[in-house]
Structure 1
Amino acid sequence: MFQFFKLNDPFRIIGVVFFLLLWTILYLVFADLPLTQLQMSWMLLGERLGDGLLFYRDLVDDTGPLSAGFFFLIDWIFGGSSLAYQIIGRILIFIQVIYWNSALIRYRVFDENTFIPAIVLLSLFHISFDMLSLSPALLGSTFVIFALSQLFSQTILQKESSEATLLIGIYGGLATGFHPIYIVFLPFLIIVGVTISGFSFRQLILSLIGYFTPLLLIVVYYFWSNGLEDFLRIWPLSFSSETYQFHTFATLGILFAFPLVLGFLGYFFGVLSKGASINQQKQRQILFFWAIFAGLAIFISRHHAALEMMVFLPLISYLITAFFLGVKKKLPLQIGFLGLVILLPLGSWWFWAENRSLQSQYFLKESANPQWPGKSVLVLDSDLSLYQDHSMKGPFLNYYLSQELLEKERTFARKVQLFRMINKQMPEVVYDPHGDFGQLLSQFKELERKYKMEKTNVFILK
C-alpha cells in the first residue's frame, strides 16, 4: 500500500478517494456517535439566521461571521441536516488534501514527488471524528492551507510575484473571517514574510491589503445592515469569554500520541539526517513558525476540543512524510504506514465509542420527550440538549459569551439595545439554571411583566 502512494501518478488520487469513501461509509453507518454541543450550535445558528436575524445584532455567538453565513446557506439548501455537515466537511478535506499535496510537489518541498503527503494528511483528519465534519475550524484551515502554499511559492520563485503576495493576505483574512483564532495569521504573515520570504516593503503592504480586504468587507456589510456597533462590541468578547473545556489535555494526548511519535521520528530521521536546499530550509522554517502561532491560536481559542487541533496538521503531515521518505528500512515503513491509515482511524473510533461517558459535556444528551411541546425555548446554559426537542428563540446562543455581555456594566444606550434584542425574540420558555434571566428581569420591569416563574429556573411567557 505504501508503494502505491509513493508513485507520482495522478491516478493515485483514486486511492485517496477510496480511502476517504471507505472511512466515511464506516463512520456514518456504524459509528453512531451523537451530535456534539458545537455541531448543535452551528446548526441552530444557520437556522436562526434563516429566520431573518442578523448575526451579532440579534444572536450572540463566537462563530466567525463568514462561517455563520456559510451555515445559513447550508440550512437554506439542506435544512437542519447533520448529514450535510458530514458530507460537505469531507469534501473540504479532500480539497485540502489534494491542494496540499500538489503544492508540496510544485514547490519541491521534498526531493521525491509523491502522493504520500495526501494520504498522510487525510489520515490525520481521522484523529478525531469531529475533525471530519463541517466546522469553522475546517473552513478556516482550508484557507490556511492555501496561504501556506502561496508562502512556499515565495521561497522558490526568483522574481517578485504580486499575485501570490496578495493571495497570501487574502487567504489569511478569509481564514480569520471564518474562524477568529486565525487572527494569529497576521503576525505570522508579517514575521515570516519579512524574515524568511524576504518580502520587500511593497510586497508586505500588498499582503496586508489582501489580509484586511475580507475583514473590511465584513465591516462594510455590518455597517449597511445597521449592525456595526454590535459587531465591534461582541466580536472582541469572543477572545475573553470563559473557555468551553470539552476535552482535557490527557484526551488530546491520547488521540495525538501515535501521529506525534511518527512526527518526532520524521524530525530526526527525515529532517535532521538529510541535507536540504535553501528553498527547502525556508519552507521548513515557515512550517515551524506556523507551529508556534498555531499554539497561540489554541491558547486564545474559547473551545478546547480536538477539532481545534487541526491547525497543527500541516506541520505534522510534513514531518510524517519526511519520516516515510527518509527511512529506507521496509519494516518500520510498513508498520508506520499501516498504523497511520488503518489503526489510527480504528483507534479513534474505538476511543470515542468506549469513552462517550467521559465526554458527556461534549455530546448532546439523549433526546427525551419534549418538556414543553410545541413551545419555543431559550436555554441559558452551556448544554444545548433541550434544542433537540424544541425550537430556539432568543438572542443568547453561546452561554459564556452571553455572560460577558450580560455582566458588563451598561450605559443607558446599552440597556436599550439589550432590551430590544430580547424583546424582538420573545421565547415562550426560558430555561435559566444559573439565575441569569431572573436577574435580567429585575432590571427590566417591562420584561418582568411578560414572564412568570413556572418553577425554579423556568420562566414562561404569559
Structure 2
Amino acid sequence: MLSYFRINDPYRLVIIFFLLLALRLPVILSDSGLTAPELSHMLVGEKLNNGASLYEGLWDNIAPLSALVYAIIDFLFGRSQQAYQYISLFLVAFQCLIFNKMLLDSKAYNENNYVPGLVYGLLMSFFFDFFTLTPVLMGLTFLLLALDNLFDHIEYRAKEDEKILNIGIYLGLASLFYLPYIIFGIAVILCFMLFTGTVARRYLLMIFGLMLPLLLTSGYFLLQHRLTVFIYNYLNPIWQFQTDNYVSLLEILIIFSVPLAFFLFSLFRISQRARFNNYQGRLAQVMFLWLIFSVLFTLISGELAPNIMMIFVPFLSFFIVHAFLLFYRRWVAEIVFTLFVVATVFFSLGAYFDFFFTSKYMLNDKYMVDYTAGKKWEGKRILVLDKNIASYRNAIPATPFLNWELVEGLFRNPEYYDNLTIIQQGFSEDIPEVIIDKHAVMPAVFDKLPEMKMRYRKEGEVYYLKS
C-alpha cells in the first residue's frame, strides 16, 4: 500500500479520503458511543438555535466560532452525532490536503509523494474520539494554514507582507474556535527569531493579524452589550487552570503508545540515515518547537481527553513519514506500514467495539454517555447542577446555566444580590421542570427565593416542578 502513495499523483488524495471513510464508517453507522463533550456541543447548538444568546442566555466557555458551527448543525440536523462525524471526515480529508501540499511545496522530503497525507489521515483516525467534530479539530485547520505560511516565510524570508499577516489571522481564527490555540502565536514569534531575519515591522504585522479576529469579535459583543459575559465565559476560564480529567495521563500514554513508538523509531531512523539540507533541518526544528507548544497547549486546554491529543498529529506525521521514506528495501517499509495500519484499526475500532484492551480506558461512565441516561426525564426541561451532564441525553436543557464550573459560584453564594438576581432571571425566562441538585446548593437558593421554592417538591437530590 505504501508504494502506491509514493507517486506524485493528486488522485491519491481521493484514495486517502475513501480509506478514512472505511476506517470511520463502522463507528459512524453504530451511532451509539456518545461522549460527554459531544453531548455538550449538541446542547450548545440546541440552545443557540432556540434563541438563546451566547454567554448570556447560555453560560458556557465554548469559543464563539465553534458555537456558531454547532448552532448551524443543530438547525440543519438536530442532535445528530452522525452529522458531526461526517463533517469531521471531510474536515480531516481537507487537512490531509493542506498538510501534504505544505510538505510538497516546502520540499521537506527528498521525494514528492502523498505519504504525508496518508500518514496524517491514519493518525487522525487512530482513536474513535478523533472521529467527531470538536473545537480542537476545527481550530487545527487554521493552525495548519498558519504553519503552511510559516514554512514559506522560513524558505523565502517573507518577501510578502501578506503571508505574515495571514499567519496572524489564521492563528486568531483558530483561537476563536478553541482559545488555547492562541499560545502558538508565541511559537511563531520564536520561529521568526530563531530561523529567520524578520524585521520588527513584520512582528507587529503578525501580532496585528492575530489580534484582529479577537478585536472584531470583542467589538461585536460590545455592541450587543455582552462584552462582560464574553470575557467571563470565553477568556476568563483559561486563567483558572482547572482541568477536566476524563482520562489519566497514563491512560493517554497507553492509548497512543503506538504513534509514540513509531515516533521514537523514526528518530532512530533519521539519526542513522537522514541527510537534511539546511532548510529541511530548520523545518525539523520548527516541528520540535511545535512539540513544546503542543505540550503547553494541553496544559492550558482545561481538559484531558483523547481528542486533545490531535494537536500532536502534524508533529508525529512529519517525522513518521521520514522513517517510512528512509527504508532502502521497500518490502520492509511495506511490512512496517502494514503493522501501522493494523494498529490503527485495533486501537480505534477495538476500543469502540470493545474487542481490544484499550476499551477499558475509554468506555467509562465519566466520558461516555449512557444511551439510557435520563430516560425518565425524556422530553422534559431539566437543569443539571453538576459536571456530569449525562442526564441531558434524552432531555432538554433549561435555564442558561449549562456549564457547572462557570455557574457554581452563583449557586454556592446566593447571599450576593447580583448572583441571586442572575439565578432568578434565568429561572423566570426558562423554568426547569426538573432540577438535579448533585451538590445540595438549591436549599440555600430557595431560602432566598421562597416563592420559587413553593413551586417545587423534593425527592432526594431531585426537585420536580409542581403541576
1:46 aligns with 2:51: no
Aligned ranges 1:210-221 → 2 under 5 Å: 210-221=209-220
| Residue matched to 1:288 | 288
Pick aligned residue for 1:441 from 439, 442, 446: 446
Paired letter, 1:141: L
Alignment-derived partner of residue 21 in structure 2: 21
Residue 272 to residue 198, structure 1, CA distance change in 2 (3 Å): farther
Could you say if the C-alpha distance between residues 373 and 327 of structure 1 is closer, same or farther in structure 2, counting changes exceeding 3 Å?
closer
SS in 2 for 1:379: strand
360, 364, 376: which one pairs with 1:359? 364
**1:98 alignment partner in structure 2:** 97
Matched, 1:314 2:319: no
Aligned counterpart, 1:165 = 164
State the 1:48 CA deviation: 0.2
SS in 1 for 2:125: helix
TM-score (norm 1): 0.93
Q: Could you tell me which amino acid in structure 1 is paired with residue 382 of structure 2?
A: V
State whether residues 374 and 392 of structure 2, in contact with CA within 8 Å, keep that contact through their aligned partners in structure 1: no
Whole-Å separation in 2 of the counterparts to 1:222 and 1:390: 30
SS in 1 for 2:245: coil
What displacement does 1:318 show?
A: 0.4
Tell me what 1:71 maps to.
70
User: Relative to structure 1, is the Cα distance of residues 223 and 408 closer, same or farther in structure 2, using a 3 angstrom cutoff?
Assistant: farther
Structure 1 position 135, deviation (Å): 0.7
Do the aligned partners of residues 234 and 419 (structure 1) sit closer, same or farther apart at CA in structure 2, a change above 3 Å counting?
farther
1:391 aligned to which of 373, 396, 400: 396
1:371 aligned residue (354, 373, 376):
376
CA contact (8 A) 2:436 2:463 kept: yes
- Contact 2:34–2:368 (CA<8 Å) still a contact in 1? yes
* Structure-2 residue corresponding to 1:175: 174
Q: Contact 1:374/1:390 (CA < 8 Å) preserved in 2?
A: yes
Deviation at 1:140, TM superposition (A): 0.8
User: What one-letter code is carried by the residue in structure 1 that aligns with 2:181?
Assistant: Y
The offset of 1:373, in angstroms, is 5.2
Structure 2 CA distance for aligned equivalents of residues 257 and 394 of structure 1: 42
Determine the C-alpha separation between the residues in 2 that align with 1:413 and 1:242.
Answer: 24
Is 1:427 paired with 2:423? no
SS in 2 for 1:361: coil
Alignment: residue pair count:
460
Is residue 2:259 matched to residue 1:254? no
* Matched residue type, 1:386: S
CA shift in 2, pair 1:250/1:380, >3 Å: same
Write the letter of the residue equivalent to 1:58. G
Q: How does 1:18-417 map to 2 (within 5 A)?
A: 18-29=18-29, 33-239=32-238, 240=240, 242-270=242-270, 273-354=273-354, 355=359, 358-367=363-372, 370-372=375-377, 374-404=379-409, 406-407=411-412, 412-413=417-418, 415-417=420-422
Distance 1:51 1:273, change over 3 A: same
Contact kept? 1:90, 1:132, Cα under 8 Å: yes
The answer as to whether partners of 2:119 and 2:321 remain within 8 angstroms in 1 is yes
Does structure 2 conserve the Cα–Cα contact (< 8 Å) formed by 1:270 and 1:327? no
Q: Which digits, 9 at most, give the CA deviation of each residue in 1:334-357, with x for residues without a partner?
A: 232112223312332112332257
In structure 2, list runs of 5 or more residues that go unmatched: none
Q: What is the rounded CA distance, in whole Å, between the counterparts of 1:316 and 1:164 in structure 2?
A: 25
Query: Which amino acid counterpart does residue 252 of structure 1 have in structure 2?
Result: I
What is the aligned-residue identity percentage?
29
Q: Distance in 2 between matches of 1:96 and 1:369?
A: 37
Alpha-carbon distance in 1 for matches of 2:453, 2:123: 52
- The offset of 1:460, in angstroms, is 2.5
> Separation in 2 of the partners of 1:433 and 1:347?
35
**More displaced stretch, 397-406 vs 211-220:** 397-406
How many angstroms does 1:389 deviate by? 2.1
Q: Distance in 2 between matches of 1:385 and 1:331?
A: 49
Does 2:462 match 1:458?
yes
How far apart are the structure 2 equivalents of 1:314 and 1:410? 50
Cα separation, 2, equivalents of 1:195 and 1:419: 55
Q: Which moved more, 1:410-419 or 1:348-357?
A: 410-419
Q: Could you say what secondary structure the match of 1:315 adopts?
A: helix
User: Is the partner of 1:214 in helix, strand or coil?
Assistant: helix
Aligned mates of 2:414, 2:378 — CA distance in 1: 36
C-alpha deviation, 1:412, in angstroms: 4.1
Structure 1 424/330 Cα, relative in aligned 2: closer, same or farther at 3 Å? same
Secondary structure at the aligned position of 1:126 is classed as coil
Given the superposition, is the C-alpha separation of residues 338 and 95 from structure 1 closer, same or farther in structure 2, using an over 3 Å criterion?
same
Q: 2:27, 2:352 within 8 Å by CA — same for their partners in 1?
A: no
Q: How far off is 1:443 after superposition?
A: 3.9
**How far apart are the structure 1 equivalents of 2:129 and 2:219?**
33
Residue type at the aligned position of 1:378: L
Measure the CA separation in 2 of the matches of 1:67 and 1:454.
Answer: 37
Letter in 1 for 2:459: K
- C-alpha separation between the residues in 1 aligned to 2:41 and 2:68? 11
* Paired residue type of 2:322: A
Contact 1:364 1:383 in 2 (8 A): no
Q: Contact (CA 8 Å) 2:20, 2:125: kept in 1 or not?
A: no
Measured at CA, do residues 362 and 138 of structure 1 come closer, stay the same or move farther in structure 2, by a change above 3 Å?
A: same
Q: Aligned Cα RMSD in Å?
A: 2.2
Structure 1 segments unaligned to the other structure (5+ residues): none
Distance 1:222 1:96 in 2: 31
In structure 2, C-alpha distance between the alignment counterparts of 1:339 and 1:90, rounded to whole Å: 23
Give the Cα separation in 1 of the matches to 2:377 and 2:457: 14
AA at the equivalent of 2:436: Y
Q: 1:406 Cα deviation (Å)?
A: 4.4
Structure 1 206/336 Cα, relative in aligned 2: closer, same or farther at 3 Å? same
Task: After TM superposition, give the deviation of residue 270 of structure 1 in Å.
Answer: 2.2
